[in-house]
Amino acid sequence: MLLTAQTVLTGRELLRPGWIEVSGTTVRALGAGAPPLPADRELATVVPGFVDTHVHGGGGVDFSAASASDTAAAVDLHRRHGTTTLVASLVSTGPADLLQQVEVLAGHARDGLVAGIHLEGPWLAVQRCGAHDPVLLRDPDPDEVDRLLQAGGGTIRMVTLAPERPGALAAIERIVSAGAVAAVGHTDATYEQTRAAISAGATVGTHLFNAMRPIHHREPGPVIALLEDPRVTVELIADGVHVHPALYRQVAHTTGPDRMSLITDAMAAAGVSDGRYQIGRMDVEVAGGVARLAGTSTIAGSTATMDRVFGFAVAHSALPRDEALLLAVCQSSINPARALGLPCPELVPGARADLVALDDDLTVTDVLHGGAWVAR
């Protein structure tokens, strides 16, 4: 199959026009200018498939209570919006329930439905619990950490925890030694405590600014510690609700092209209508596309898909459009994959044929996943 596009963003360069040859499940060749043969399909703008490393569900499905068919339905919803690689996130719950959820999702990961598991908790700060049930938050117990990692069988890609909790630094070392990524989030940690977590091996900041001690001129807190360390990739929920566009621009300027990952933090209501839902065992009300804990003003994840956060990044970067597109590709595909050790989605010969076709308004028109068109 030979594809042509007015613009191809490979992940590191821009080809205008460009062409891509796909053989089976992989990219066989690509280049700039006229294609070597007549094209099978002509597209407007092509970017690598989006990689969402922090997503709790979608299409009415919460990953914490999902059967294989439910997981497949949620993944399909996000895939139609351009997410070709998805890591399923779990919120805090009790030890037995969390172990069972990991065992179920580990099977879904081995079956290829998701690219792995993200444990967002339960070792989080009560003061910054967000949409996590504070009753279920606890200190990381070495035995529980080991049981979960063993139950995941290598499918747990990332664990978010608050480094100020007793035992957190030792847990970070255990998580990293097991081959997973330790992330700092839902935390009231000081600047020094966050630096200690990074020294112990933490390399991701979970949804920077949200559920996190704010910056103070005499106590910089976790935000500054995470931003200033070149070893750390910071997540940002660029859905137009969680962070102001000016913060997106400032973080992008601070981190450069290689250290920001755009995420959705999507919950079950992503891609469906307003109404009542759950995230974990917490009741959520969605109105105007904004999810909040029932009866409160607390944001409870998002209803975004990756095409929306990609468009937000391009629209609010204050860069020339081509530069904004290149940066958004790094933030929505290349960086999140690298941060979690997932296969690089860059469009190069030999890579899996995952790509998203966009129109001039950056609306998804087609998605190719493993060389097959996703049903629209």
Beta carbons of 340 and 84 less than 8 angstroms apart: no
- Can you tell me the distance from the alpha carbon of 202 to that of 220, in angstroms, rounded to the nearest whole number? 18
Active-site residue 143, yes or no?
no
Dump the DSSP string for 117-172.
Answer: EEEE-SS--GGG-TTS-GGG--PPPHHHHHHHHHHHTT-EEEEEE-TTSTTHHHHH
- Among all chains, which residue has been given the structure tokens 């941060």? 339
Instruction: Report CA Rg, the chain.
Output: 20
Q: Show Cβ contacts of residue 291 under 8 Å, excluding neighbours closer than 6 positions.
A: 267, 269, 277, 279, 284, 285, 299, 300, 301, 302, 303
- Can you tell me the distance from the alpha carbon of 129 to that of 137, in angstroms, rounded to the nearest whole number? 8
Of 54, 78, 91, 49, nearest to 271 by C-alpha is: 78
Half-sphere exposure of 323 (CA within 13 A, CB side): 9
Q: Which of 62, 188, 265, 354 is catalytic?
A: 265
Q: Is it true that the peptide bond before 343 is cis, omega within 30 degrees of 0?
A: no
User: What residues act catalytically?
Assistant: 265
